[in-house]
C-alpha cells in the first residue's frame, strides 16, 4: 500500500520570471479604492496606500465578471483548477530578486490589535449579518458558485463550502463585508492578505485561487480542506491531548509551512489551532488575515491572538519572524498537554516565558518547546532548526493518524 503522506522539501524557491498575471494584484488596489469611494467613509489614506512596480491595471467591475476570472488563461484556467486536487498547481509566480519576490509594498499597515482568544464571536457574527442583510440560515448566492454549507465565522468574515459550477471543483469561499472592513479601517491589511496568499504556493499552505467582488462583499476563493480545523480534531481527543507522535506529525508540517513563508520574508503573526486545517494527510496553514511581508526584518504592529502572542508583541517592541516560532512552541505545548501554558490573565508570565512542562513529557519534547518559547527572540530556534530537531524527525514517513477509510467530505 502506498504511503499517502510524502515529505516535501522545506523550501520552494521562486524562479526568476515575471508574474503570469499581475492583473489580479492591480485588481486588489482598484477594488479597495472603489469600496472606499462607494461607502464614502474617508478619503484614500496614505497608511493604506500601496503600489505595484510592474503591473497592468485590471479592473473587474462586479461579481458577474468572476466567470472571466475563472476562465482566463492568464490567471487560473478551469483545467488548472482541477489539477489543484493533486496539489500540482501550474500557477507559478516570481520577481527578479528576493527583495521583490512578493512584488508589492505597503507604506504602513494599520494597527490591527491583539484579539483575545475568548472574544465573543456571536457579536462579530451579528455585525456581519446586520451589514450584509443576510438571514442567519440563508446561503449567499453567486453566479459561478453554489454554496453548500457554512464552515465557520471569523471576526471580519464568514466561510462557506461551495462548488464551482463549471468544473464541479470544491472550494471554500471567504466572504468579507466591505462596510465592516472599511469601518474597522482594515483595507490595508486585507490587501496584504490577498496579495500574499495569492503568491504563496506550498503543499502545507491553503491556496488562494482567485477572488471577486459584489456590491457589498469581497469573496476569496480558497482551497477547501475536507478534515476541518485542528482545534475541532483536538476536541475529539481524550483531555484534548494528542500523543507525542501524533503531535509531532502535525507540528512537523506546520514547521514546513513556516520555513517556506519565512524564506519569502512573510510573517503569519497568528499561529494557533484555529488557523491550522487538515486535508487528506496534510496540514495546511490558513487564515493570513494578520500576515505581513517584511523584508526589512522588524515590525512593531500589535496583532494576533493574545494567548499565543510573544513577549515582544505584548510589550509593543520591535519583532521579526521569531514571533511565529513562539506561536509554534505554544501550539506544540497545547497539542501535547491539552491547554496552553498560560491563561489570558497571566500576561506577566507570558512576558517572562515562565511556564511548567509536565513531567510526562519526553526529553526531546521538553527540549523542543524550551527552544521555541524563549523570552529573547534571538535565542529561539529558526524554523529550519525546529524542523531538524530530533522530536520532529520521528514523525517523518508516518501515515497520518486522522486518515480513515470511507471519507465523507460533507453532509
174 assigned binding-site residue: yes
- In the predicted model, what is the mean pLDDT of residues 159-172? 93
- In the predicted model, what is the mean pLDDT of residues 392-399? 68
Using the predicted structure, report yes or no on whether residue 335 has a pLDDT greater than 70: yes
Which CATH code, of 1.10.510.10, 3.40.50.150, 1.10.10.10, 3.30.390.10, is assigned to 230-393? 1.10.510.10
Using the predicted structure, report yes or no on whether residue 354 has a pLDDT greater than 60: yes
The pLDDT of residue 301 is 63
Predicted confidence band of residue 409 (pLDDT cuts 50, 70, 90): very low
As given in the structure block, the three cell numbers for residue 344 are 489570558
- In the predicted model, what is the mean pLDDT of residues 199-206? 93
Using the predicted structure, report yes or no on whether residue 71 has a pLDDT greater than 60: no
284 assigned binding-site residue: no
pLDDT: is 93 or 408 the higher one?
Answer: 408
pLDDT tens digits for 379-389? 999 999 999 99
The region of weakest confidence among 342-356, 365-379, 389-403 is 389-403
- In the predicted model, what is the mean pLDDT of residues 334-361? 87
The DSSP result for 204-247, as a single string, is: TB--EEEEEE-SSEEEEEEE--TT-BHHHHHHTSGGG---HHHH
Using the predicted structure, report yes or no on whether residue 368 has a pLDDT greater than 70: yes
Predicted confidence band of residue 189 (pLDDT cuts 50, 70, 90): confident
When the pLDDT of each residue in the chain is averaged and rounded to a whole number, the result is 70
For the chain, percent of residues with pLDDT exceeding 70: 60
pLDDT: is 282 or 74 the higher one?
Answer: 282
- DSSP code at position 133: T
Provide CB contacts within 8 A for 322, sequence distance 6+: 310, 377, 378, 380, 382
pLDDT tens digits for 90-122? 223 333 233 333 333 232 333 344 545 444 444
Q: How far apart are CA 51 and CA 68, in angstroms?
A: 24
The pLDDT of residue 158 is 94
Q: Is 317 a catalytic residue?
A: no
Predicted confidence band of residue 65 (pLDDT cuts 50, 70, 90): very low
Predicted confidence band of residue 298 (pLDDT cuts 50, 70, 90): low
- Residues 341, 356: contact at Cβ < 8 Å? yes
23-223 and 230-393 agree in CATH topology: no
Predicted confidence band of residue 15 (pLDDT cuts 50, 70, 90): very low
Q: Which of 258, 172, 240 is nearest to 208 (CA)?
A: 172
287 assigned binding-site residue: yes
Catalytic residue among 270, 274, 320, 324: 270
pLDDT: is 12 or 24 the higher one?
Answer: 24
Cβ of 183: how many Cβ atoms within 10 Å? Answer: 14
The DSSP result for 394-410, as a single string, is: TTTT---TT--SS----
- Kindly tell me the burial class for residue 338, based on how many C-beta atoms sit within 10 Å of its own C-beta (0-12, 13-18, 19 or more): middle
pLDDT: is 38 or 8 the higher one?
Answer: 38
pLDDT tens digits for 47-57? 322 222 223 22
- Residues 383-403, buried b or exposed e (16+ Cβ, 10 A)? beebbebebbeebeeeebebe
**Cross-strand partners of 282:** 279
In the chain, where are the structural domains located?
Answer: 23-223, 230-393
Which CATH code, of 2.40.110.10, 3.20.20.80, 3.60.15.10, 3.30.200.20, is assigned to 23-223? 3.30.200.20
Predicted confidence band of residue 262 (pLDDT cuts 50, 70, 90): very high
pTM: 0.67
For the chain, percent of residues with pLDDT exceeding 90: 36
Helices (H) and strands (E) in the chain, counts: 14, 13
Q: How far apart are CA 233 and CA 241, in angstroms?
A: 10
Q: Which of 236, 259, 274, 283 is nearest to 400 (CA)?
A: 283
Predicted confidence band of residue 139 (pLDDT cuts 50, 70, 90): confident
- In the predicted model, what is the mean pLDDT of residues 69-86? 34
The pLDDT of residue 276 is 95
Using the predicted structure, report yes or no on whether residue 216 has a pLDDT greater than 70: yes
364 assigned binding-site residue: no
The pLDDT of residue 26 is 63
The pLDDT of residue 58 is 30
Of the ranges 1-5, 291-295, 344-348, the best mean pLDDT one: 291-295
Q: How far apart are CA 286 and CA 175, in angstroms?
A: 15
Amino acid at each position: 500500500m502506498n504511503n499517502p503522506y510524502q515529505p516535501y522539501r522545506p523550501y520552494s524557491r521562486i524562479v526568476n520570471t515575471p508574474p503570469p498575471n499581475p492583473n489580479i494584484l492591480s485588481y486588489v488596489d482598484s477594488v479597495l479604492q472603489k469600496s472606499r469611494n462607494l461607502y464614502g467613509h474617508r478619503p484614500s489614506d496614505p497608511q493604506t496606500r500601496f503600489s505595484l512596480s510592474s503591473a497592468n491595471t485590471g479592473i473587474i467591475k462586479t461579481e458577474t465578471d468572476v466567470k472571466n476570472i475563472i476562465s482566463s488563461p492568464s490567471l487560473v484556467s478551469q483545467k488548472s483548477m482541477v489539477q489543484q486536487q493533486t496539489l500540482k498547481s501550474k500557477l507559478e509566480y516570481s520577481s527578479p530578486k528576493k527583495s521583490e519576490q512578493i512584488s508589492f509594498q505597503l507604506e504602513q499597515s494599520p494597527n490591527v490589535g491583539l484579539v483575545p482568544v475568548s472574544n465573543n464571536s456571536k457579536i462579530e457574527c451579528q455585525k456581519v449579518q446586520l451589514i450584509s442583510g443576510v438571514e442567519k440560515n440563508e446561503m449567499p448566492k453567486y453566479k459561478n458558485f453554489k454554496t453548500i454549507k457554512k464552515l465557520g465565522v471569523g471576526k471580519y468574515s464568514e466561510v462557506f463550502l461551495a462548488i464551482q459550477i463549471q468544473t464541479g471543483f470544491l472550494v471554500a469561499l471567504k466572504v468579507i463585508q466591505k462596510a465592516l472592513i472599511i469601518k474597522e479601517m482594515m483595507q490595508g491589511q486585507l490587501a496584504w492578505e490577498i496579495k500574499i496568499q495569492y503568491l504563496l504556493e506550498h503543499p502545507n499552505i491553503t491556496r488562494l485561487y482567485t477572488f471577486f467582488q459584489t456590491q457589498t462583499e469581497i469573496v476569496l476563493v480558497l482551497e477547501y480542506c475536507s478534515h476541518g480545523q485542528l482545534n475541532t480534531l483536538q476536541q475529539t481527543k481524550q483531555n484534548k491531548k494528542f500523543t507525542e507522535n501524533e503531535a509531532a506529525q502535525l507540528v512537523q508540517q506546520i514547521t514546513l509551512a513556516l520555513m517556506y513563508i519565512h524564506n519569502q520574508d512573510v510573517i503569519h503573526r497568528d499561529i494557533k489551532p484555529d488557523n491550522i486545517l487538515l486535508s487528506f494527510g496534510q496540514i495546511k496553514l490558513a487564515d493570513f488575515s494578520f500576515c505581513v511581508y517584511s523584508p526589512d526584518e522588524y515590525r512593531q504592529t500589535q496583532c494576533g491572538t493574545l494567548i499565543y502572542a510573544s513577549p515582544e508583541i505584548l510589550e509593543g517592541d520591535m519583532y521579526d519572524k521569531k514571533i511565529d516560532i513562539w506561536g509554534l512552541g505554544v501550539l506544540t505545548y497545547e497539542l501535547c498537554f491539552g491547554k496552553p501554558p498560560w491563561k489570558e490573565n497571566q500576561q506577566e508570565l507570558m512576558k517572562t516565558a515562565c511556564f511548567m512542562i509536565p513531567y510526562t513529557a519526553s526529553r526531546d519534547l521538553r527540549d523542543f518547546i524550551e527552544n521555541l518559547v524563549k523570552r529573547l527572540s534571538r535565542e529561539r530556534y529558526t524554523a529550519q532548526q525546529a524542523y531538524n530537531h530530533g522530536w520532529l524527525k520521528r514523525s517523518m514517513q508516518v501515515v497520518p493518524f486522522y486518515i480513515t477509510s470511507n471519507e465523507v467530505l460533507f453532509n
